[in-house]
Amino acid sequence: MKPIFFIFAAVLMEVSAAPDGKQLFTMNCSACHLLDQMVVGPSLVEIRGLYEGKPDDFLKWSIAPQKKRPGAIDMPSMVHVGEEGLRVIYEHIMEVSKGAVEKKQEKGDPYAASPTQAVRPQVMRIFMPDASPASIAVALDDLNGLCWDAGSSRLRYAWTGGFIAGFSYWQGNGNGLAEILGPVRYTEQASPFGADTAMKFLGYKLKGGLPVFRYTAGARMVTESYSPVAEGMGFVRSFSVATPDAVVLDFPAQSGVAVTADKGKLEGGKLTLTPAEAAAFTLTYILK
Ligand code: HEC
């Protein structure tokens, strides 16, 4: 099968104090499971039929999935979600599948009509073009999408238009990558902390549905969060960097992109910050 799928389990996720079954389902399961039709994996209707009243068996499967259906890919282990998270996902699946009826598998992109795929903002682990297999696709709103690479702990690119087509990822284009539904307008060649800095991804959590990534860049602890601009095309990128001395970060200028920083001095693509400024600063990217 495709061993690359196991990377799903390698990407850490931080579960907030009260895990939300719907949100956890969307992030971890919805790329492969739809409500009422088989896509990559069986429908929630079928899962309900198999596991109603058996949450422990459901957990056992989700942590160590078996090979069962001929022709299906291997389901990656969902052990990273944790027992508590899997239990609320179970409750969510039982709730939404109540009374639903299995539909015949349709031709075309079943994700296009799926209500979970239309939720904004949306954060999804999926294989993306021009990024490592540990990529995370983010729909900030209806217009702005970006690809954050948990493999190298950095933003890869941002696009505008629609979000992603998941269907080609599994069945259509043969290369196993999601298709981006709009032009890429911003690309980052290296981490602002420098291409040679050792990066370590520590996980992410959601705040109002939007991602907050945590990682170390060399000895510095960093959080990086994203939100859409109030109107139009672009995104707001907020950092918090714990550093004992001043830092200089690279934000090379790109045509068609206007970048401003609320702290420090941004000159010639370099942002210089005192430790106090580095503790909380924001860059705004307006895409033209
Ligand atoms: C990368 C795609 C993928 C993801 C993501 C995924 N699954 Fe699956 N799942 C599958 C496939 C494929 C099967 C069928 C495997 C088989 O029958 O050999 C399956 C089967 C199942 C089954 C049916 C087990 C049975 O006894 O037949 C359950 C329950 C399930 N998945 C739960 C989950 C949950 C919960 C999540 C998220 C936490 C999840 N899956 C995420 C692909 C996925």
Between these two residues, 176 and 215, which has the higher pLDDT value?
215
Average pLDDT over residues 50-58: 97
Q: Give yes or no for residue 1 having a pLDDT over 50.
A: no
Long-range contacts of 212-215 (CB under 8 A, 24+ apart): 213/148, 213/150, 213/153, 214/14, 215/153
**109 contacts 179 by C-beta, under 8 angstroms:** no
Q: Give yes or no for residue 41 having a pLDDT over 90.
A: no
Q: Quote the pLDDT of residue 3.
A: 38
Q: Quote the pLDDT of residue 141.
A: 95
Cα distance between residue 117 and residue 144, in whole Å: 15
Q: Which amino acid is at 116?
A: T
Count of other CB atoms within 10 angstroms of residue 62: 22
189 alpha carbon – ligand 1 mean position (Å):
35
Cα distance between residue 264 and residue 22, in whole Å: 40
Q: Quote the pLDDT of residue 15.
A: 43
- Backbone dihedral region of 199: left (phi > 0), alpha (psi from -120 to 50 degrees) or beta? beta
**221 contacts 199 by C-beta, under 8 angstroms:** no
Residue nearest to atom 2 of ligand 1 (CA): 32
- Which numbered atom of ligand 1 lies nearest the CA of 67? 18
- 200: Cβ below 6 Å to ligand 1? no
| C-alpha torsion sign, points 158, 131, 218, 205 | positive
CA 181 to centroid of chain Cα atoms = 16
- 31: Cβ below 6 Å to ligand 1? yes
Q: Quote the pLDDT of residue 175.
A: 60
- 39: Cβ below 6 Å to ligand 1? no
Q: Quote the pLDDT of residue 2.
A: 39
183 alpha carbon – ligand 1 mean position (Å):
32
Q: Quote the pLDDT of residue 91.
A: 97
Cα distance between residue 250 and residue 265, in whole Å: 12
47 alpha carbon – ligand 1 mean position (Å):
9
Tokens, residue 280: 């909380």
Residue nearest to atom 5 of ligand 1 (CA): 29
- Which numbered atom of ligand 1 lies nearest the CA of 58? 29
Q: Give yes or no for residue 5 having a pLDDT over 50.
A: no
Q: Quote the pLDDT of residue 9.
A: 37
30 alpha carbon – ligand 1 mean position (Å):
10
Write b or e for each residue in 244-256: b if 16 or more Cβ atoms lie within 10 A of its Cβ, otherwise e. eeebebebeebee
Residue nearest to atom 40 of ligand 1 (CA): 29
Cα distance between residue 40 and residue 57, in whole Å: 21
Count of other CB atoms within 10 angstroms of residue 91: 14
- 40: Cβ below 6 Å to ligand 1? yes
Q: Give yes or no for residue 13 having a pLDDT over 60.
A: no
Q: Which amino acid is at 271?
A: L
Q: Give the position of tokens 């944790």.
A: 82
Average pLDDT over residues 232-256: 96
Q: Which amino acid is at 153?
A: S
- Which numbered atom of ligand 1 lies nearest the CA of 125? 5
107 alpha carbon – ligand 1 mean position (Å):
21
Tokens, residue 206: 């959601």
Q: Quote the pLDDT of residue 113.
A: 62
Work out the pLDDT band at 178, boundaries 50, 70, 90.
confident
- 217: Cβ below 6 Å to ligand 1? no
Mutate to test the pocket of ligand 1, among 2, 26, 29 (most ligand atoms within 8 A of CB): 29
Cα distance between residue 24 and residue 9, in whole Å: 14
93 alpha carbon – ligand 1 mean position (Å):
12
**Rg of the chain over CA atoms, in angstroms?**
20
Cα distance between residue 25 and residue 119, in whole Å: 12
Work out the pLDDT band at 109, boundaries 50, 70, 90.
low
- Half-sphere exposure (CA, 13 Å, Cβ side) for 138? 26
Q: Quote the pLDDT of residue 213.
A: 95
Q: Give yes or no for residue 228 having a pLDDT over 60.
A: yes
Between these two residues, 37 and 97, which has the higher pLDDT value?
97
Q: Quote the pLDDT of residue 16.
A: 44
Cα distance between residue 67 and residue 193, in whole Å: 43
Mean pLDDT taken over the chain: 86
Between these two residues, 50 and 12, which has the higher pLDDT value?
50
Residue nearest to atom 19 of ligand 1 (CA): 41
Between these two residues, 28 and 146, which has the higher pLDDT value?
146
97 alpha carbon – ligand 1 mean position (Å):
15
- Which numbered atom of ligand 1 lies nearest the CA of 73? 12
- 90: Cβ below 6 Å to ligand 1? no
